[in-house]
A and B are shown apart, each in its own frame.
Chain A
Amino acid sequence: MTIAAKSLLLIAALALSACNNPDRYGAGGAGGADGGIDTTGLGDPSNPTSIAYFNQTVGDRVLFEVDQSTLTPEARTVLLAQAQWLLTNGGYAAIIEGHADEQGTREYNLALGARRAAAVQNFLISQGVPANRLRTISYGKERPLEVCSEEACYAKNRRSVTVLSAGAGV
């Protein structure tokens, strides 16, 4: 690999971690001053105890079927790894965001997002993660990740994201 290619990869990694910054919603989201999220650096993605590693390698998000909050086998695999990581790295707490795609009313999607976040929370607790390290929040359809109005985007927007912060409890 050339040095230029390596630099590009590094830039891509940085861009990705910027995307995963829990503060991406500004003061309007759980990243607000009162939301309890430490928004300082995500750390070195090659360091397995860093938030960046969790986000990129363990995987911070799982996807859901239309209107569903049932965890798919793929989601369970990711969440098992999340639980393992959280048990190993006791110094982190998490806010689990639930999101919905734009098909549906604002109110219904808020409730649906909450269901999804709770499904993830319950799974992590069932794997031994202490409940006092986990909180949930729903954004409904307020914060889509992808902006097209097609299933390809909707599928990525029906998600939960486990947003870490330094600190043993939330």
Chain B
Amino acid sequence: MKKLARLLALALWGAMAAVTPASAELNLTIDSPTVEPMPIAVAPFVDEGGAGDYAAEIGRLVVADLVGTGLFYEIPAEAHISRISAFDSPVAFADWKAINAQALVVGAVSVSGNQITVKFRAFDVFSEVQVDGAALQFAGTTDGWRRMAHKVADVIYSKITGEGGYFDSRVVFVAESGPKNARLKRLAVMDYDGANVAYLTDSAAIVIAPRFSPTGDRILYTSYESGFPRITLMDVGSLERRSLDEQEGTMTFAPRFSPDGGTVVFSLERGGNTDIYALAVSSGQLTQLTNAPSIETAPSFSPDGSQIVFESDRSGTPQIYVMPASGGEGTRISAGKGRYGTPVWSPRGDYIAFTKQNEGRFHIGVMRTDGAEERLLTASFLDEGPTWAPNGRVLMFTRETSGAGGQTSLWSVDITGRNLKQIVTEGPSSDPAWSPLLP
């Protein structure tokens, strides 16, 4: 746990432009229906002193991040003609053109004590220029080496695609064990790629659906620790936790932060009826936002904080509605066949991701905020609970297999429907929630 706190508190990031670049034209539009992955060569990172295995490991992780998006493919080192022996030496572009590398990444690592410095440059090979803004240096401690590789990859991804990065991020989730009828659940947090797992609770109480605060320093979740489901707030650094609302005879669940982190919206059940409430975290002031005999749950704020998307079965089946952040009846936006749930507003504001259940199958999908352009991205026995990557272009969700031996696992998919893949975790895992990009 101490290590986790230290990693999250890591504040040694320095960044500087190493070279004034010429403008580059290398770009990749990830929204188009088909994308030809861009061939990229990552020269083995140069050891500038004491780097040892870190040089190779960091280079490999940069490749893994970029190739893992499905938008790049690696031209392996064995195919390279040129060798990069010094970080600042001139690039023999002809050698990289000859192996058809459109982008080239050159990097160097140095280590002194527990301090590590990583620098890199990315080139547009065919224009023979450095990619605008893709020349930076990061410094920190060696135990944060994976974060540095993710930061390098984030810059490269961001400069080439024009989208924000998402590799230097964490995911809080529920680690599961035990049989289906007596599942043990505990909160855990990991890097976006499944590395650096740390457990935040033991498995004594059922925990459900954790969510990060907008700055990643706190986690909201639902816990049965008191014997009854209660929304709970945990400080990630200290792991201290408290129930947020303890009205006798009620049940609270499905919490989520407002974009400014000051408000929690959640479901409160009283006498069998579930409505949506807002709680001011500092004052504890409670405001009822919906008032209907139907089930209103799974609220999620728009990124500007002005609206809330939620799920209601007032029409007879669960559907998705949008209401002002101050509450109200809301307007239904889901229009297709089937049942819709767990809507989540994209951090970019352009889409709402959801779970859809139709004809015995579950789907993760996205739609515009008015319900238009619904697109189903996945299909399986049970796909559920999408969470947005910080750049609003990738979703992670829970997939569960059927039957007595059914197990949960974490998957991710682009909003184009491409690049569906499993996130490898130590054991069955569910309810992922992506952090913002780390500072």
A interface residue numbers (CB < 8 A to B): 24-32, 34-36, 67, 69, 102-108, 110-112, 114-119, 121-122, 135-139, 142-149
Contact = CB atoms under 8 A, between A and B. Distances in A.
Contact of A148 (B183, B208, B297, B404): B404
A117 B183 contact: no
A138 to B, nearest CB: 6
B14 interface: no
Interface stretch (B119-127, B161-169, B226-234): B226-234
B209 interface: yes
Contacts of B381: 149
Interface size class of B (residues with CB under 8 A): 35 or more
Given A138-B251, A149-B402, A107 B272 contact: no
A69 B272 contact: yes
B253 A107 contact: yes
Nearest to A26: B204
Given A105-B341, A106-B431, A149-B402, A111 B227 contact: no
A69 B206 CA distance: 24
Contact of A122 (B185, B229, B267, B272): B272
Contact of B254 (A25, A107, A117, A144): A107
Contacts of A116: 272
Given A105-B384, A108-B313, A142-B208, A147 B298 contact: no
Contact of B206 (A29, A121, A146): A29
Given A110-B222, A144-B180, 7 more contacts: A104-B339, A105-B311, A105-B357, A106-B209, A110-B254, A139-B206, A147-B403
B227 A108 contact: no
A147 B253 contact: no
Contacts of A135: 249
Contacts of B267: 107, 110-111
Nearest to A112: B295
B205 A138 contact: no
Nearest to A115: B272
B341 A137 contact: no
Contacts of A117: 272
